[in-house]
Amino acid sequence: SAGLYLQADTQWTGKVRTVIGMRGDLYDVQVDSSDAANSGSETATRPSPKLTLALGPWARTEVYANYGWGFHSNDARGATITRDPMTGEPAERVDPLVRGRGAELGVRSLAVPGLHATAAVWGLDLDSELLFVGDAGTTEPSRPSERRGVELTADYSPRPWLQLDASYAWSRARFADE
């Protein structure tokens, strides 16, 4: 796989900043299966736009919002499969790259000397999940999903030789359809 990222940062005023970006990815897979019918190669590309708005700082604290597209890569075997290894029946191929959309709203602060703290709420929506079916030894496309979460992080350096890190993350993942 290969990627290219272009970004434009603009400081509109002393308290308003935007970042606009575009990422392009090329994903090339090669599968050499014991079943020649399931061997092959597949290439996929995905453009992924990104946008950030940051407000501040006020008292060394800023609020930010991010939105962007991304992807997850499916198991390469699912992208080249033509025959189910267990039954010999025809199998449907899946896209190597599945679109995702994410957003984050957060606050980060350097207000306390030596402390960098961040709090964020986020969401991620994926067009499809790829599930591994262990009994059959195959993968299969599944339904769209959504994830929501909260993250808190703090890095504190009370002395030059001492660094304390703490983080907390909570997320909830669900299929997005009925």
For the chain, the average pLDDT equals 93
* ∠ CA 131-26-76, rounded to 5°: 30
Give the per-residue pLDDT at 168. Answer: 98
User: What average pLDDT does this structure show over 102-124?
Assistant: 97
User: pLDDT tens, 115-174?
Assistant: 999 999 999 999 998 777 787 776 677 899 999 999 999 999 999 999 999 999 999 999
Beta bridge partners of 49: 22
Confidence (pTM): 0.82
Is the model's pLDDT at 15 over the cut of 80?
Answer: yes
Predicted local confidence at residue 91, as pLDDT? 87
Average pLDDT of the segment spanning 4-17: 96
pLDDT of residue 122: 98
Report the relative pairing of strands 115-126 and 97-109 from DSSP bridges.
antiparallel
CA pair distance 74, 62, nearest whole angstrom: 36
What pLDDT is stored for residue 98 in this prediction? 92
Confidence of residue 74 (pLDDT cuts 50, 70, 90): confident
pLDDT score recorded for residue 47:
95
- Under a CB-based contact definition with an 8 Å cutoff, are residues 142 and 129 in contact? yes
Q: Are 97 and 136 in contact (CB under 8 A)?
A: no
Contact in structure between 21 and 4 (CB atoms under 8 Å): no
Q: What is the pLDDT of residues 76-88, one digit of tens each?
A: 888 898 998 888 8
